[in-house]
Amino acid sequence: MGLWIRWQACKMAAQVMQGRGNGNEPLTPLVWSLAVFFEMYMRHGSLGTLKDFGPKDVVELKKVDR
């Protein structure tokens, strides 16, 4: 099961990266980060991913007047 999850995470990272390569920026760190994010999400769910990738401070939402 572990290799299947990693395979799916890599596939999702590749889908996100479609059309992004312009030759000027290194893509490897971004692809690696996306693959790690998707793998963590599939293994630990949204709450586990929030703990590792989410904001560290609590943000208070306020009403916005139009």
Amino acid code (one letter) for 59: V
Residue 11 has pLDDT above 90, yes or no: yes
Residue 66 lies in a domain: no
Any domain includes 44:
yes
36 lies in some domain: yes
The count of structural domains within the chain is: 1
CB under 8 A, 24+ apart: contacts of 1-8: 5/39, 5/42, 5/43, 6/35, 6/39, 8/38, 8/42
- For 22-56, how does the pLDDT look when each residue is reduced to its tens digit (9 = 90+)? 777 788 889 999 999 999 889 888 777 777 777 77
Domain contains 63: no
Asked if residue 49 lies in contact with residue 37, where contact means CB atoms within 8 angstroms, the answer is: yes
User: Is residue 39 in some structural domain?
Assistant: yes
Domain span at residue 36 reads 26-54
